[in-house]
């Protein structure tokens, strides 16, 4: 198939509401394979996905899905599937009814077969006859994905698909997305939790403050994440002694004595935690508290952006 | 040229079915199921106690056309699309290639059909209890109530696309536009769904108790015009349906 038919193109796309700029001059091409749209909450990820799905017009710039603009063009949904973040489905329908109705809205020739296939892929066959109202959050997420997949779209957009899933369901969903990407589809998902997507392969686009802040492949971003400096607040029975010992260690890049305890900077989290334990044991120092002090998502993302 | 039946091709059976199930399943369904019950009970009570022979057109015209029909249509018409927009489930319908005109027409058809069942037919039954099934008043009120079911729902479906406070706006329209201004300003009657309905009812029932002020031709033409225009605006509005993102 023509690669254009499954690509999402954004050229200098901006979207603002009054004085608030939600998406700021973003250009990107999302092609076949998996792409993660990452960024802290409020970064503009959902706005971008809504722009792509045609639920918002760009204030400026051009946006096409499969070569066609998506705004005011419901026809794009013949090749596009959307899994919205909001957990609102027709809860009075059974899972099967919901997916089959979606198949009929797509005017598929055999809606029953399409619904069974999509439900099978998501391993929801056992629960398909229960009303969606009785589903857990993870099951609702999966039935939404089944509905979005029912017409076998070339492009699939998923807004925070791992929210509310337990680790096993998350792994299963990642496998499914990778499998669909391997079949040549374009899969774009958003997430605000970097660790959530740590084991995936593919491309990531980092959005911070409405701007495309960084992009690259998962491995490069992962390396940056593990080698980024961590800052910890350490409180012990002998801060001065511990601080002097810590500064002599290669994993530690800085120590500061503060009123609240020791502020320790390290580039190697694993080595630091082993050495800290060893030093305390050898020096008979009692460790009272070890707190990560820069673990906010914003600091992680801004570090990635700066690199 | 398209066949007159082509409009039915625009109705989407899946949207119709889901809308009917959703609307009947919501708590507010109790309200529009109770209203016709009150109408029938009051009619029976009046039939047993009223002394003036003019009570049927007065009561069924006033209570039926100023309260029962507009309120039933208001509750149903604002919820067929409005409730799904409020809770976000509309996105599952809109993330498909179904034309927005088809979505609007199917939602409107579901609302109009429900209003016929829970408004127009009870109005006819009440008239039949008062005067008999084939009496001119009964048939006139049924015809007028059908016009009300269609016109009000087109308007209230549009309101639900224009504002998140569609019920309040609809009440304002009924109380201020139709109720207050309609009584004092003659021109308003030409733009009043209530007037179209009672005027059509009056063309068959022929009673001054209905307070009809338009000819049946004007009423029918204006009702058709208002319905078509409001539905067209609603479809355009739905085609430009937007969801705000997380940054605001």
Tell if the CB–CB gap between A74 and B241 is shorter than 8 Å: no
Q: Residue A233 belongs to what H/E stretch?
A: strand A230-236
Mean pLDDT for B219-246 is: 92
Q: What is chain A's mean pLDDT, rounded?
A: 88
Give A297's contacts in chain B (Cβ within 8 Å): none
| Pairwise CA distance, residues A49 & A202, whole Å | 18
Give B240's contacts in chain A (Cβ within 8 Å): 57, 72
**pLDDT confidence tier of residue A307, bands split at 50, 70 and 90:** low
Give A207's contacts in chain B (Cβ within 8 Å): none
Give A69's contacts in chain B (Cβ within 8 Å): none
Where does residue B208 rank: exposed (0-12), middle (13-18), buried (19+ CB within 10 A)? exposed
Name the residue with higher pLDDT: A227 or B171: B171
pLDDT one-digit tens code per residue, A68-109: 999 999 999 999 999 998 878 899 999 999 999 999 999 999
Give A46's contacts in chain B (Cβ within 8 Å): 245-247
CA distance to partner chain A, nearest, from residue B198 (Å) = 38
| Pairwise CA distance, residues B174 & B192, whole Å | 9
| Closest residue to A74, CB basis, from B12, B25, B97 | B97
pLDDT one-digit tens code per residue, B154-206: 999 999 999 999 999 999 999 999 988 888 888 888 999 999 999 999 999 99
| Closest residue to A22, CB basis, from B12, B94, B245 | B245
C-alpha distance from residue A138 to each of A103, A123, A150, A229, B130 (Å): 22, 12, 18, 34, 57
Q: Kindly identify which residue of chain B lies nearest to residue A57, measuring between CA atoms.
A: B242
Q: Which of A36-40, B173-177, B226-230 has the lowest mean pLDDT?
A: A36-40
**pLDDT confidence tier of residue B2, bands split at 50, 70 and 90:** very low
User: DSSP character for A54?
Assistant: T
Lookup: tokens for A115? 């619904």
Phi first, then psi, for residue A24 (nearest 5°) are -120, 100
pLDDT one-digit tens code per residue, B17-52: 999 999 999 888 999 999 999 999 999 999 999 888
Instruction: Reduce the DSSP state of residue A17 to 3 states and report it.
Output: strand
For residue A274, the model assigns a pLDDT of: 86
CA distance to partner chain B, nearest, from residue A182 (Å) = 24
Tell if the CB–CB gap between A86 and B91 is shorter than 8 Å: yes
Contact A301, A207 (CB under 8 A): no
Mean pLDDT for B198-223 is: 96
Residue A278 touches partner B, C-beta closer than 8 Å: no
For residue B248, the model assigns a pLDDT of: 40
Residue A16 touches partner B, C-beta closer than 8 Å: no
CA proximity to A232, closest of A275, A199, A193: A275
Mean pLDDT for A132-152 is: 94
For chains A and B, CB pairs below 8 A equal 108
Interface probe with B: pick from A42, A82, A105, most Cβ of B within 10 Å: A105
Tell if the CB–CB gap between B92 and A90 is shorter than 8 Å: yes
Q: Which of A210-214, B88-92, B102-106 has the lowest mean pLDDT?
A: A210-214
Residue B1 has pLDDT above 50, yes or no: no
CA distance to partner chain A, nearest, from residue B13 (Å) = 9
| Pairwise CA distance, residues A121 & A134, whole Å | 20
Residue A173 has pLDDT above 60, yes or no: yes
Give B22's contacts in chain A (Cβ within 8 Å): 90, 92
| Closest residue to A89, CB basis, from B12, B89, B97 | B89
| Closest residue to A77, CB basis, from B25, B87, B97 | B97
Question: Which residue numbers of B have CB closer than 8 Å to A's CBs?
Answer: 12-15, 17-18, 21-22, 25, 87-89, 91-100, 239-248
Residue A196 has pLDDT above 90, yes or no: no
CA distance to partner chain B, nearest, from residue A224 (Å) = 26
Mean pLDDT for B116-141 is: 97
Contact B107, B81 (CB under 8 A): yes
């Amino acid at each position: 198939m023509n690669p254009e038919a499954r690509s999402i193109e954004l050229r200098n796309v901006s979207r603002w509401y009054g004085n608030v700029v939600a998406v700021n001059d973003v250009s990107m091409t999302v092609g076949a394979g998996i792409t993660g749209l990452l960024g802290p909450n409020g970064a503009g990820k959902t706005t971008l996905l809504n722009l792509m799905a045609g639920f918002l017009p760009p204030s400026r710039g051009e946006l096409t899905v499969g070569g066609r603009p998506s705004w005011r063009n419901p026809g794009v949904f013949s090749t596009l599937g959307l899994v919205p973040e909001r957990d609102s489905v027709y809860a009075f329908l059974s899972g099967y009814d919901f997916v089959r109705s979606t198949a009929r809205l797509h005017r598929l020739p055999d809606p029953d077969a399409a619904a069974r296939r999509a439900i099978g892929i998501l391993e929801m066959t056992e629960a398909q006859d229960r009303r969606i109202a009785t589903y857990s959050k993870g099951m609702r997420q999966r039935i939404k994905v089944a509905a979005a997949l029912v017409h076998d779209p070339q492009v699939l957009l998923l807004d925070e698909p791992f929210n509310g899933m337990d680790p096993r369901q998350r792994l299963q969903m990642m496998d499914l997305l990778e499998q669909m990407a391997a079949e040549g589809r374009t899969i774009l998902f958003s997430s605000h939790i970097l660790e959530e997507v740590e084991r995936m392969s593919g491309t990531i686009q980092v959005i911070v403050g409405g701007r495309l802040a960084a992009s690259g492949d998962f491995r490069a971003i992962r390396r940056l994440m593990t080698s980024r400096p961590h800052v910890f607040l350490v409180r012990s029975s002998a801060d001065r002694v511990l601080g002097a010992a810590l500064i002599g260690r290669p994993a530690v890049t800085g120590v500061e004595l503060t009123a609240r305890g020791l502020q320790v900077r390290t580039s190697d989290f694993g080595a630091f935690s082993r050495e800290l334990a060893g030093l305390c044991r050898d020096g008979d120092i009692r460790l009272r508290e070890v707190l990560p002090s820069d673990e906010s998502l914003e600091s992680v993302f801004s570090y990635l952006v700066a690199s | 040229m398209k066949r007159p039946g082509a409009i039915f091709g625009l109705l989407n059976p899946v949207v119709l079915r889901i809308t009917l199930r959703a609307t009947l399943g919501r708590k507010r369904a109790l309200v529009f199921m109770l209203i016709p019950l009150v109408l029938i009970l009051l009619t029976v009570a009046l039939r047993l106690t009223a002394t003036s022979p003019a009570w049927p057109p007065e009561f069924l015209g006033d209570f039926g056309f100023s309260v029962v029909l507009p309120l039933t249509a208001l509750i149903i018409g604002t919820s067929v699309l409005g409730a799904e927009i409020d809770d976000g489930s509309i996105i599952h319908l809109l993330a498909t290639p179904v034309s927005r005109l088809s979505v609007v027409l199917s939602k409107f058809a579901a609302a109009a059909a429900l209003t016929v069942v829970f408004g127009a037919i009870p109005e006819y039954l009440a008239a039949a209890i008062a005067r008999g099934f084939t009496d001119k008043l009964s048939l006139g009120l049924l015809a007028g109530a059908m016009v009300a079911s269609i016109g009000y729902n087109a308007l209230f479906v549009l309101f639900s696309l224009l504002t998140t406070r569609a019920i309040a706006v609809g009440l304002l329209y009924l109380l201020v536009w139709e109720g207050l201004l309609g009584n004092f300003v003659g021109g308003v009657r030409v733009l009043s769904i209530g007037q179209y309905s009672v005027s059509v009812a009056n063309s068959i029932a022929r009673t001054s108790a209905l307070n009809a002020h338009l000819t049946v031709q004007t009423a029918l033409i204006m009702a058709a015009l208002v319905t078509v225009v409001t539905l067209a605006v609603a479809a355009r509005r739905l085609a430009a349906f937007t969801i705000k993102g997380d940054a605001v």
